[in-house]
Amino acid sequence: MFDMYSGCCVHTTETIRETHPLVVKLQHVLPDSVSTQRSPDDYSFSRQHELPWISPARRWQPGGFPQQPGGFPSMPPGGSNTGWGSGPGFGAPQGGGGMPQGYPGGPAPGQQPMPNYPGAPAANPSMPAYGGGGPAAPMAPAVNRGYRGSIKDFPGADPLRDVEVLRKAMKGFGTDEQAIIELLGNRTTKQRVPLLAAYKTTYGKDLISDLKSELTGNFEHLVMTMLRTPAQLAAHELKDAIQGAGTDEACLIEILASRDNAEIHEINAIYKADYGKKLEDAIISDTSGHFRRLLVSLSQGNRDERETVDISVAKQDAQKLYAAGENKVGTDESQFNAILCARSKPHLRAVFHEYQQMSGRDVEKSICREMSGDLESGMVAVVKCIKNTPAYFAERLHKAMQGAGTKDRTLVRIMVSRAEVDMLDIRQEYAQKYGKSLYTHISGDTSGDYKKLLLKLCGGND
């Protein structure tokens, strides 16, 4: 038979199938379920396995190369979103069994899916001593639970009308504290802070000064705190924690361990602008030793923030922590500092899991066995915050109201700073851990207008 494309004479397919040694060999190798009889429109070998005696016209068939059972995967059609090219992940999950609902396809060949924690970063060449590891494991998408704050934007809020309400509340004999509570307790930060400029523009007076002249005690402190931006509040609290009578180490750790890089950078800028000194310099002048190093590292705002997890690197870091503590005479605090302050939070959750599997002990307990003083409490706080931030703040709130006397400064700072972040989650963790709602505990531990405004920030009784 003459092939008009190749310009040469070729045998028919039937003759080749019976006589060509490669086809005879393939017939013995291929499973019975795979037929060696193919029409010209259904030839399925990939180009790297083309038989040299097939003409070019018969090598290129429309529709691509159908997948061979047990062989090489076929290239999906152009524009498909199944993991090739620019498509995300490793392909959509197939029906029936396999990955749990919401998981974006299976893991890469040779890798195992993540056990019970979100993905952690692949090796980051920009991070010091961050090496090794294979390709990143596929990451389950973050569950979008919606807005988790207790305070929401008030519809139609107008700064000019709001400052008129505040002016009337402070004008004349006595103060209408309830009007102040209702207004501030139903406005978000971005609706409260502009009131400072609107008040001065409208009345030519300073709102902060007028409020201070009318209010007292913890209620005054809470109102003043609510009129700061998150970065201003954090910078102010850090300054007082450092410069006050004695250093409030727990406050320093709480703020620096719970903020992301962008927030820490903004806090640094506000601190320098408002107090004329770098936050890092203030920390260095008031702390010492490994605890100082921990705070300085956290204050840089350079934590890896990728969401992917490389299990092999997580195992390496777990081994490093074990070798630096439990498996060593003495403790290499610098190794703990390097890993806990530089690695991403999803990655560290994986490290903590691997550490537990390897050592049989929770990393928090290992830190308590190996360290002491401010460094111990600081490292443990970082671990708790990374594991579960709302649970960490629930514990901080419980300790602030526990026993004789209330740590009102801590209570106010957390209630204001988390009201638009994760207060609903904090309430949930609080009720689960202590068998009592946060709302109920605040009601029983505070009083008066101070209590009323705190309960507005809490948002409800679980």
Predicted confidence (pLDDT) per residue in 250-277, tens digit: 999 999 999 999 999 999 999 999 999 9
Q: So what's the pLDDT on residue 56?
A: 40
Phi, psi of 103 (to 5 degrees): -85, 130
Say yes or no to pLDDT of 72 above 80.
Answer: no
Q: Where does 276-407 have alpha helices with state H?
A: 279-286, 289-299, 311-324, 333-342, 345-359, 363-370, 373-387, 389-401
Specify the higher pLDDT residue, 280 or 131: 280
**Non-local CB neighbours of 352 within 8 Å, separated by 6+ positions:** 318, 362, 363, 383, 386, 387
Q: How many CB atoms lie within 10 A of CB 370?
A: 20
Q: 242 is written with which tokens? A: 């450092």
**Non-local CB neighbours of 364 within 8 Å, separated by 6+ positions:** 380, 383, 384
Q: So what's the pLDDT on residue 413?
A: 99
Residues 342-364 have a mean pLDDT of 97
- CA 249 to CA 237: how far, in whole Å? 11
Residues 81-105 have a mean pLDDT of 37
CB 191 within 8 A of CB 157: yes
- How many degrees, rounded to 5, is the angle at CA 150 between CA 380 and CA 233? 60
97-139 pLDDT, tens digit each:
443 343 333 444 444 444 443 443 333 433 433 333 444 444 4
Specify the higher pLDDT residue, 437 or 328: 437
Q: So what's the pLDDT on residue 230?
A: 98
Phi, psi of 8 (to 5 degrees): -140, 170
Q: So what's the pLDDT on residue 452?
A: 98
pTM above 0.75, yes or no: no
Residues 160-185 have a mean pLDDT of 96
Say yes or no to pLDDT of 47 above 50.
Answer: no
pLDDT, mean over the chain: 79
In the DSSP assignment, the letter for residue 9 is: E
Q: So what's the pLDDT on residue 127?
A: 40
Q: 324 is written with which tokens? A: 């630096």
Q: 292 is written with which tokens? A: 């100082």
Say yes or no to pLDDT of 429 above 50.
Answer: yes
218-227 pLDDT, tens digit each:
999 999 999 9
